[in-house]
Amino acid sequence: MAAISFVAGGEPLTAVRLGLSMFALQASIGALNDIVDAPRDAGRKPGKPIPAGLLSRTVAQAVVVSAAVVGIALSVPSGPLTVALAVAVLVIGYAYDLAAKGTAWSWLPFAIGIPLLPIFAWYGTTAALPAFFRVLVPAAVGAGAALAIANARADLERDVAAGIDSIAIRLGHDRAWLASTTLFAIIAVVAVVTMLMAGAPTATVIGALSGIALIGIGVDAGRNRSPRHLERAWEFDAIGVAFLAAAWLAGIAAAG
């Protein structure tokens, strides 16, 4: 978030404030997710904070509330629409935690929520959105869906054992891998082509290609069905998408 704010021309304090705001919002969503998952994680994910005894449910509930308050409060200086975006991020994240997770629709909050992240940072900085967001938002929807499918594949065996549904279970390992890979490939092609057409600086194109390479590592690792490999694959995919998005934004913005 801070990097996107900088690209948008934000002052350092604004960029840091918006970055901390989104960090707090995601912490609230993550804490609620751990609370909801605690019964299922017991015996299956002993390293998670609540099953490991590192965090009580009471403390986790306090984190949910306090982090949400902090995240929204930090968005206030950017105006009411930015506050509304912060609330929307929370609502979508909570909807995933409480309703969509464990269903075949678990990908939908990702597809809706991921595009809100760059919108939050850019609009929170400039109170406006440039025309190139018409390309960014659909690409972000695809990236969110692809990441959700990859994430569901990482949890597939645990979800089956727990009797929980997911998009990966519905599609199966191979078709889920193909679906996420196809979406990643489309996003990569669109990103590179639009950067070249816009005349983006060479350094940003190289940055985008680096992000695509990280996604490629994740995609290749995702061929292995072991939960450990699938979790690493998801992490490479997520980091790669972040690199690609940052480089694309920087390149398109610099090209004018």
How does pLDDT run across 109-161, given as a tens digit for each residue? 999 999 999 999 999 999 999 999 999 999 999 999 999 999 899 888 777 77
Residue 49: its pLDDT value, please?
Answer: 67
Total Cβ atoms within 10 A of residue 2: 18
Tokens found for residue 253: 């913005």
pLDDT tens figures, 155-180: 887 777 777 888 999 999 899 999 99
Q: By mean pLDDT, which of 58-62, 176-180, 249-253 is the weakest?
A: 58-62
Question: Which residue spans of the chain are classified as CATH 1.10.357.140?
Answer: 1-129
Residues 6+ apart with CB under 8 A from 175: none
* Closest by Cα among 198, 197, 190 to 244: 190
Average pLDDT on 28-51 reads 72
Q: In the predicted model, is pLDDT for residue 213 greater than 90? A: yes
Looking at the domain that runs over 130-256, which CATH code has it been given? 1.20.120
Residues of each domain in the chain carrying CATH 1.20.120: 130-256
- Report CA-CA distances (Å) from 99 to 108, 166, 241: 11, 12, 26
Q: Which of left, alpha, beta for 48 (phi over 0: left; psi -120 to 50: alpha)?
A: beta
Q: Is 46 helix (H, G, I), strand (E, B) or coil?
A: coil
**pLDDT value of residue 124:** 97
Task: Tell which CATH classification among 1.20.1080.10, 1.10.357.140, 1.10.10.10, 2.30.30.90 matches the domain 1-129.
Answer: 1.10.357.140
